[in-house]
Structure 1
Amino acid sequence: MNQTAASPAPPRAPLALDGPLTTRTVAGPRWARNLPVYEVNPDVYRFPKGAALREYEKQHLPVLKEMGVGFVWFMPLHPRGRKKGFGSPYAVRDYRDINPDLGTKDDFRRLVGRAHALGLRVLMDWVPNHTAWDNPMIETHPEFYAKNDKGEIVQAGPWADVAQLDYGKPGKWNRPLWDRMRDDMAFWVREFDVDGFRCDVAGRGGKVPVEFWRWLRPQLDAVRPVFLLAEADDAYLHPALDMTYSWNLPPVLWDVCAGRKPATAIDDELRKEAGTYPAGAIRMRFLDNHDWHGHADWGWGNGPAIDMRGGMPQVAPLMVLCTTLPGKPLLYNGQEMGFAKTDPPREAAERRRSPVWPFYRRLLELYRSRPAIFEGGFSKVASGQDDRIYAFVRRRGRERVLVAVNLSDRAQTATLGDASLSGGYRDWFGGRDVTLGATPSLDLEAWGYRVYVGRTR
């Protein structure tokens, strides 16, 4: 019996985004639209006891500003619980105080004031899902907590050092807890001028309902407009929260670099996001954060380890992508010290001596200064080597930024399949003028990248 071969699937249209995920409808306050994020873990600096906030205010904030940082996100600064635990910053003992090992409330007030004077914004890390077991609310407000059938307060998820808060359920919300959490957050906005919060375990990983976030947001904004980052990738949290983690992208990026996936797998992730997230939703792009920093593969430890000896040349092209794809980039504490996992320097001026300091300064300047990057449309560009090269253009008005990265350990030539890209550009990292002809091509060294900034005629 004759069998008819199936017809090949038609080629997919080039990926183009001009609404969802491009942030053209900017979520959050307008002042936040072009601000890169830097996460600070005060513990690893090993400052003298009680001096961390003072030291950060005096010497580190000015250098972060010089590097191009916009948001400074501090991991939880509150007093830490010790009962059943080890002193995790995410085991909060008092939402309205500062951990004395780091400093005082006056120190923090001065830090925020100095940050604002420098043009920086401050995000506090907020832990609404659970508290330390020695948080006084366990005694004064046991009704705030989830209990088992025996009436005993239960731990939160897998974390034995924290007790689960209970926000209630539809028709039976725990409104006194909602009020308390709102008042404690508003306290830092009103009294200390903080600019927003990174909200821990904000989505399905915890027990904080989206109805709480939708109720909370306008009340915080009534005090002063704030920026809210969710430690979650749940689309339903938008628009109550402005930005979610793009947990999905880093494993794909490392798979591409390792040759386990083609570079077109990045298109697949962006398509999924565009079909899931509402217009204006900001996705935070990153390679590292405090949860991932201890894992060999810059992920959750569930993939082949990456050889980090002698540095990681993959980091540069991947951070170019994290900064130029639709979204907002995050640098983790010390990432600017080298293309390998490193801790930040205790002396802030050491950053300027880092071999990758010029790269990160220029990269963050790109995000802060080019509207095509922080709020422009996105169009994929065929390179003739799409399994290894990822190329695209960002546009806003007459401005256009062409980006091409080689995600392989061999030199590649990108032959760009878009004659409209011809014209004059400035090589952002090379510091020279370039002209692309009618059939533009780019020679990219192993792990190389090009960012060309130009204007349409």
Structure 2
Amino acid sequence: MRLALALAACALAAPALAEPDYTPRDVVAVENAEWTRDAVLYQMNTRQFTTEGTFKAAQKQLPRLAAMGVDIIWLMPIHPIGEVNRKGSLGSPYAVRDYRAVNPELGTEAEFRAFVAEAHRLGLKVILDWVANHSAYDNPLTVSHPEWYTRTPEGALMSPAGTDWSDVADFDYSQPGLRRYMTESLVHWVREFGIDGYRADVAGYVPTDFWETARAELEKVKPVFMLAEWEQRDLHARAFDATYGWGWKEAMQRLVKSGEGAGPMRGYYAGKSETWPHAAMRMVYTENHDQNSWDGVAAQIYGPAYEAAIALSFVGPGLPLIYNGQEADNDRQLEFFERDPIVWKEGRHADLFRKLVALKTAHPALHNGRFGAPLVEVPTSTSADVFAFTRGAAGERVFAVFNLSPRGHTLTFDKARHHGRYIDALTGAPASFAGGESLDLPAWGYRIYTETK
């Protein structure tokens, strides 16, 4: 009886449990730099970008890129390349022999500093491609810190499991010393050379907590932009501003190949809206170095849908990328392990890129991540093939209509979500939608309108 009374007294004295906090929380804690608001990425393969293949030669092209309107120059790895197990005569830039040096084939440290300084003078930012998961087999770290590397059961260095990357040795991120060295190396280029962030190669092959620690250390120097070559929402919480939108590329290539219509792209955007934080920037592209080198030339992959794919990458939710040579209609797969300079000319898509960059910059609805507006679909009479949507509040909307099929259509609109007065963003022609209008779109045709007040 005494025990029962004592237990009852304890129960009465126990403090009430705190009411859970049901307030929605933004799962993205990364503070995006203001200059990422309307950013467009431009990937530069320094080896192939000019006839000389150097920073000094590439620097002369920076005014052209600034005039084009791009914001962030992403340089493929600039570090010395390993010789052991080298692929081709020049090797892969992703086989890093020294994380704190410049590849002499590209130029000197002074020339790289000059490149970054000129980019900054022109209002451009510069990010480096960073290979944290593995190094060259002859990186001195294999001798000075052999414990930092993954080993075969027999104790030998090994390439990343499940890959054919025979020219690189896998790091072991259970080693605190490796984490410190790699973080300090990342900080080195920001502090000493003024670069503005990184594109992280195969970011998902490296523990997320490493990236979170590295991001915090980088932010102590200055605001940076971080892009992960991976498609995982957790990377946005405390490490990366942007991740790859591989699903966008896969949806576009699927519907081009199958001719099935807008379904795959509608599914991609629905999935992004439902499962990814609004603040998460997703990089979308029609071409990059991997696709160009191993899959094919973008103009050939997308065929007659190429122009529509480019346009959608700019006006749909996403951080758009231009790969060097796209504006010159590069028509071949560039060599990856050899010198193979781009043949520069005024391409037929150059003006389209300039207009789309200007459009994205001018209209807040099209800005990146938390800065931009969500997509609101506008149903049409041919929704199986046509994907139409608005972005932004009434009075400042962007209204886009994409025929994502090899079939021409005359279509009408079923709702009033887009009603208003507009101008065609690419031609300047006026347009008005108040109900009952029809629109003719050829196969793979599209229209982009901006609202007028």
| TM-score tier (shorter) | 0.7 to 0.9
- Kept in 2, the 8 Å contact 1:335–1:341? The answer is no
Counterpart secondary structure, 2:397: strand
In structure 1, C-alpha distance between the alignment counterparts of 2:395 and 2:136, rounded to whole Å:
53
The match for 1:6 is: none
Give the % identical residues: 36
The match for 1:335 is: 326
Q: What pairs with 1:67-106 in structure 2 (closer than 5 Å)?
A: 67-86=68-87, 87-106=91-110
- Kept in 2, the 8 Å contact 1:422–1:440? The answer is no
The match for 2:143 is: 139
Judged with a 3 Å threshold, the aligned counterparts in structure 2 of structure 1 residues 215 and 70 are, in CA distance, closer, same or farther, namely: same
- Kept in 2, the 8 Å contact 1:380–1:392? The answer is yes
The match for 2:316 is: 325
In structure 2, C-alpha distance between the alignment counterparts of 1:383 and 1:340, rounded to whole Å:
36
In structure 2, C-alpha distance between the alignment counterparts of 1:74 and 1:307, rounded to whole Å:
25
- Kept in 2, the 8 Å contact 1:333–1:343? The answer is no
In structure 2, C-alpha distance between the alignment counterparts of 1:195 and 1:336, rounded to whole Å:
24
The match for 2:54 is: 52
Shift of 1:104: 0.9
Shift of 1:448: 1.4
Larger radius of gyration: 2
Query: Are residue 265 (structure 1) and residue 264 (structure 2) matched?
Result: yes
Query: Are residue 149 (structure 1) and residue 153 (structure 2) matched?
Result: yes
In structure 2, C-alpha distance between the alignment counterparts of 1:180 and 1:289, rounded to whole Å:
29
- The structure showing larger relative contact order (alpha-carbon pairs under 8 Å, at least 6 residues apart) is 1
In structure 1, C-alpha distance between the alignment counterparts of 2:203 and 2:362, rounded to whole Å:
31
- Kept in 1, the 8 Å contact 2:227–2:241? The answer is yes
Residues 289-324 of structure 1 show CA distances to partners (whole Å, capped at 9, x for unaligned) of: 11111345669xxxxxx967xx93211111111111
Q: What pairs with 1:233-382 in structure 2 (closer than 5 Å)?
A: 233-239=231-237, 240-295=239-294, 312-338=303-329, 350-351=344-345, 353-374=346-367, 375-382=372-379
Residues 21-77 of structure 1 show CA distances to partners (whole Å, capped at 9, x for unaligned) of: 9x9x996212112111111112223533xx61001112x111111112111101001
Residues 372-401 of structure 1 show CA distances to partners (whole Å, capped at 9, x for unaligned) of: 111112101112111211111011474100
The match for 1:431 is: 428
Judged with a 3 Å threshold, the aligned counterparts in structure 2 of structure 1 residues 253 and 339 are, in CA distance, closer, same or farther, namely: farther
Query: Are residue 29 (structure 1) and residue 26 (structure 2) matched?
Result: no
Judged with a 3 Å threshold, the aligned counterparts in structure 2 of structure 1 residues 27 and 409 are, in CA distance, closer, same or farther, namely: farther
- Kept in 2, the 8 Å contact 1:146–1:164? The answer is yes
- Kept in 2, the 8 Å contact 1:422–1:439? The answer is no
Q: Which amino acid aligns with 2:56?
A: R
The alignment's TM-score, normalised by the length of structure 1, stands at 0.85
The match for 2:212 is: 214
1:445 to 442, 446, 451: 442
Shift of 1:436: 1.9
In structure 2, C-alpha distance between the alignment counterparts of 1:405 and 1:62, rounded to whole Å:
33
- Kept in 2, the 8 Å contact 1:315–1:339? The answer is no
The match for 1:16 is: none
In structure 2, C-alpha distance between the alignment counterparts of 1:366 and 1:27, rounded to whole Å:
25
1:124 to 124, 128, 143: 128
Query: Are residue 395 (structure 1) and residue 392 (structure 2) matched?
Result: yes
In structure 1, C-alpha distance between the alignment counterparts of 2:257 and 2:159, rounded to whole Å:
39
Shift of 1:124: 0.3
- Kept in 2, the 8 Å contact 1:334–1:342? The answer is no
- Kept in 2, the 8 Å contact 1:377–1:396? The answer is no
Shift of 1:268: 1.6
In structure 2, C-alpha distance between the alignment counterparts of 1:415 and 1:27, rounded to whole Å:
42
- Kept in 2, the 8 Å contact 1:334–1:343? The answer is no
Q: What pairs with 1:171-210 in structure 2 (closer than 5 Å)?
A: 174-203=175-204, 206=205, 208-210=206-208
Q: Which amino acid aligns with 1:368?
A: T
1:40 to 38, 44, 48: 44
Q: Which moved more, 1:354-363 or 1:89-98?
A: 354-363
Corresponding pairs, count: 415
In structure 2, C-alpha distance between the alignment counterparts of 1:237 and 1:26, rounded to whole Å:
10
The alignment's TM-score, normalised by the length of structure 2, stands at 0.85
In structure 2, C-alpha distance between the alignment counterparts of 1:297 and 1:252, rounded to whole Å:
17
In structure 1, C-alpha distance between the alignment counterparts of 2:76 and 2:305, rounded to whole Å:
27
Judged with a 3 Å threshold, the aligned counterparts in structure 2 of structure 1 residues 193 and 339 are, in CA distance, closer, same or farther, namely: closer
- Kept in 1, the 8 Å contact 2:30–2:240? The answer is no
In structure 1, C-alpha distance between the alignment counterparts of 2:350 and 2:189, rounded to whole Å:
33
Judged with a 3 Å threshold, the aligned counterparts in structure 2 of structure 1 residues 27 and 313 are, in CA distance, closer, same or farther, namely: farther
The match for 1:11 is: none
1:225 to 223, 226, 248: 223
Judged with a 3 Å threshold, the aligned counterparts in structure 2 of structure 1 residues 395 and 440 are, in CA distance, closer, same or farther, namely: farther
Q: Which amino acid aligns with 1:215?
A: T
Counterpart secondary structure, 1:275: helix
Shift of 1:274: 2.9
- Kept in 2, the 8 Å contact 1:312–1:340? The answer is no
Unaligned runs of 5+ in 1: 1-18, 169-173, 300-305
Shift of 1:224: 0.7
Residues 112-138 of structure 1 show CA distances to partners (whole Å, capped at 9, x for unaligned) of: 111111111111000000000111111
Q: When you count helix as a share of all residues, which structure comes out higher?
A: 2
- Kept in 1, the 8 Å contact 2:50–2:342? The answer is no
Shift of 1:445: 2.3
In structure 1, C-alpha distance between the alignment counterparts of 2:207 and 2:280, rounded to whole Å:
19
